Chains A and B, each alone.
Chain A
Amino acid sequence: EAQVTQNPRYLITVTGKKLTVTCSQNMNHEYMSWYRQDPGLGLRQIYYSMNVEVTDKGDVPEGYKVSRKEKRNFPLILESPSPNQTSLYFCASRNGPEGAYGYTFGSGTRLTVV
């Protein structure tokens, strides 16, 4: 089954404790992206990647890091989480410009930083 898999689904952590949210897709998609969703603000892009070793900042990159060492994986790293990073996070992937344009989203990760 074609899908984007995120882990964990729920995470409660303390301020300053490094964490990683994993994202993996099995569709051989080139493009991957991370979004955070907050009430009243919609979905805001954190980082995106156009291919292996090619990443760039989205609209709200502060406090986050990403890596794209393999085509299927695109982990989101919070080196020193803070309470304002409490949010619902979605990973998404899609084909390149020649393919379908719509993103396929993962199931989401609800992160709480206390």
Chain B
Amino acid sequence: GENVEQHPSTLSVQEGDSAVIKCTYSDSASNYFPWYKQELGKRPQLIIDIRSNVGEKKDQRIAVTLNKTAKHFSLHITETQPEDSAVYFCAAVRGTGFQKLVFGTGTRLLVSP
């Protein structure tokens, strides 16, 4: 089955800096890669996703890149703000059913003012 590894487990940056979170996956058939943000005490929420036929996707200050050959994908946050502080989860899923979504172990991002 699919296995997703996520690094780093914690990341501290200064406000305005960029943050990068990296994930690798094991199943070359995986074709959909969402990223979730979970603020303290709240539910995970989808912030951006990418499909295997796309190499990069941007949405304002966040972007995701995908390298299918190396089987890794990354989340990039530019101009970080204190409200970006949260736990971020990457995930991978294969097949048209998309029902087996496998998550990474999470990255706790702390943005200091």
Taking Cβ atoms with an 8 Å cutoff, the residues of A that contact B are: 31, 33, 35, 40-45, 48, 50, 56, 58-59, 90, 94, 97, 101-103, 105-108
Q: How many Å from the CB of A31 to the closest CB on chain B?
A: 6
By the criterion CB–CB under 8 Å, are B103 and A42 in contact? yes
Establish whether residues B99 and A40, one from each chain, have CB atoms under 8 Å apart when the complex forms: no
Among A31, A43, A97, A107, contact of B103 (Cβ-Cβ < 8 Å)? A43
Let me know if A101 and B105 touch, CB within 8 A: no
The 4 closest A-B pairs by CB, nearest first: A102-B46, A105-B43, A42-B105, A43-B103
Q: Who on chain B is nearest to A94 by CB?
A: B98
Q: In the bound complex, do residue B104 and residue A97 qualify as a contact, i.e. CB atoms below 8 Å apart?
A: no
Contact B100 A48 (CB under 8 A): yes
Q: Give Cα A48–Cα B95 distance, bound, in whole angstroms.
A: 15
**B98 and A31 form a contact (CB under 8 A):** yes
A31-B101 Cα distance, complex, nearest whole Å: 12
Main SS at interface, chain A: strand
Residues of chain B having any CB pair with chain A under 8 Å: 1, 6, 9, 32, 34, 42-46, 49, 89, 93, 96-106
The majority secondary structure among interface residues of chain B is loop
Contacts A40-B105, A41-B105 given; does A102 touch B99 at CB 8 Å: no
Assuming A43-B44, A90-B43, is B104 touching A101 (CB within 8 A)?
no
Say how far A50's CB is from chain B's closest CB, in angstroms: 6
In the bound complex, CA of A90 to CA of B91 (Å):
16
Rounded to whole Å, the gap between the CB of B101 and the closest CB of chain A is 7
Minimal beta-carbon separation of B28 from chain A (angstroms): 19
Q: Do A101 and B99 contact each other (CB < 8 Å), given the known contacts A43-B89, A59-B1, A90-B43?
A: no
Q: Are B96 and A97 in contact (CB under 8 A)?
A: yes
Residues of B within 8 A of A40 (CB): 9, 105
